[in-house]
Amino acid sequence: MVSSDTIELDEVVVRYRSGWQLGPVSATFPVGVSALVGPNGAGKTTMLAVLTGIKRPKAGTLRRDGQPVRRRREGSGYRAHIGYVPQECTWSPSWPVEDFLTFCARMYRVPSTQVRHRCQGVMSDLNVGQFAHQPIGTLSGGQKRRVFLAAALVHDPEVLILDEPTVGLDPGERISFRRHVVEQAASRVVVLSTHLMDDVALSADQVHLVDGGHITWSGTLPELMAAAGESDSQDHVSVAERGYLHLMQGRAESELPEGDR
Ligand SMILES: Nc1ncnc2c1ncn2[C@@H]1O[C@H](COP(=O)(O)OP(=O)(O)OP(=O)(O)O)[C@@H](O)[C@H]1O
């Protein structure tokens, strides 16, 4: 893998027919885990859709390593460098794991001589080899998530995009899934959206708060903790939670008329 150092949104705007608008938003996503956090309907999935190259912005530019991304045929160009695990994965439940991964590898044009090797590799990395011949529909939520992460990694992408990856997982599965994500982020750009502050506090290097179609705050985990006034605390999860509430509340209050504050 030739690694991308950054992907970047530069003054990006998306507008839906309903009139809802994302942006303009600008943000840079380096190697490591960047988390998009915010309430329902804030625009996180829309931002991820632009980052995957699936959604074309109405204005602004998506850049990879500083270069504007131009859309090309699927499987070539930018999208060949992206691994994506959407919020809901709706593949046929009767499909055995290894067959599914083989299909994904071929879809991403992994050279045929390497397909088996890549599938074996990601099954081993994600600890799903024991399910190779099992239909996806017979796996637990956490096991399925690991299979979909394996599918997103089968072509060794430079960028991994995960939409609420740990929703519905039990505590053990979440810990294990997070560990896999952090391992993958050692050498690639990972952008994930989440509502869960333990995902943020235990995996994110960079945090972006998203609200009303805008990025309202960006910083590191220590900076988020500092917003709660407790940057030295060892309890990263609850302090990050308090930092989040403080920053979101601050924004809401600043928009209120003075007499209502
Ligand atoms: N295809 C679409 N057409 C019209 N409006 C849409 C479409 N997709 C999303 N929206 C609207 O855009 C806004 C942002 O949605 P988005 O899914 O990006 O938010 P989100 O932060 O990911 O939310 P959640 O945390 O609930 O997944 C919402 O108001 C949503 O109703």
d(CA 48, ligand 1 centre) in Å? 11
Element (H, E) at 237: helix 236-255
pLDDT at 254 over 60: no
pLDDT attached to residue 250 = 59
pLDDT attached to residue 73 = 52
Do 203 and 33 touch, CB atoms closer than 8 A? Answer: yes
Question: Domains of the chain: which residue ranges?
Answer: 93-156
pLDDT tens-digit series, residues 148-166: 889 999 999 999 999 988 8
What sign for the dihedral angle of Cα 244, 35, 220, 215?
negative
pLDDT attached to residue 80 = 83
Beta bridge mates, 28 = 8
pLDDT attached to residue 75 = 42
- The pick from 46, 55, 56 for probing ligand 1's pocket by mutation, whose C-beta has the most ligand atoms within 8 angstroms, reads 46
d(CA 46, ligand 1 centre) in Å? 6
**% the chain with pLDDT above 90:** 48
Going by CA atoms, what residue is nearest to atom 27 of ligand 1?
40
pLDDT attached to residue 2 = 47
Instruction: Report which residue type is found at 130.
Output: Q
Mean per-residue pLDDT, 121-125 = 90
**DSSP structural state of residue 19:** S
d(CA 38, ligand 1 centre) in Å? 12
Q: For residues 44 and 35, what is the distance between their CA atoms, to the nearest angstrom?
A: 10
pLDDT attached to residue 90 = 73
pLDDT tens-digit series, residues 7-45: 999 999 999 999 999 989 999 999 999 999 999 999 999
Average pLDDT value for the chain? 86
pLDDT attached to residue 198 = 87
Instruction: Report which residue type is found at 56.
Output: R
- For the question of an ipTM over 0.95, the answer is yes
Residue ranges lining ligand 1, Cβ < 6 Å: 16, 18, 20, 38, 40-46
Counting from 1 in the atom list of ligand 1, the atom nearest the Cα of 210 is 21
pLDDT attached to residue 86 = 86
If phi > 0 it is left, if psi is from -120 to 50 it is alpha, else beta; for residue 156 that is left
Counting from 1 in the atom list of ligand 1, the atom nearest the Cα of 47 is 18
d(CA 43, ligand 1 centre) in Å? 6
Report helix, strand or coil for 249.
helix
Q: For residues 36 and 162, what is the distance between their CA atoms, to the nearest angstrom?
A: 10
Beta bridge mates, 18 = none
Query: Which residues fall within 8 angstroms of residue 194, CB to CB, at 6 or more apart?
Result: 35, 36, 37, 164, 165, 166, 200
Q: Among the listed ranges 87-91, 139-143, 231-235, 249-253, which one has the minimum average pLDDT value?
A: 249-253
pTM: 0.88
Cα distances (Å, whole numbers) of residue 136 to 21, 29, 82, 153: 37, 32, 23, 17
Going by CA atoms, what residue is nearest to atom 3 of ligand 1?
16
pLDDT attached to residue 4 = 60
pLDDT at 56 over 50: yes
Alpha carbon 29 to its chain centroid, in Å, reads 11
pLDDT attached to residue 206 = 94
pLDDT attached to residue 260 = 36
Counting from 1 in the atom list of ligand 1, the atom nearest the Cα of 195 is 25
Report helix, strand or coil for 149.
helix
Report helix, strand or coil for 13.
strand
End-to-end CA distance of the chain: 52
- The pick from 18, 55, 210 for probing ligand 1's pocket by mutation, whose C-beta has the most ligand atoms within 8 angstroms, reads 18
pLDDT tens-digit series, residues 172-192: 878 888 888 898 899 899 999
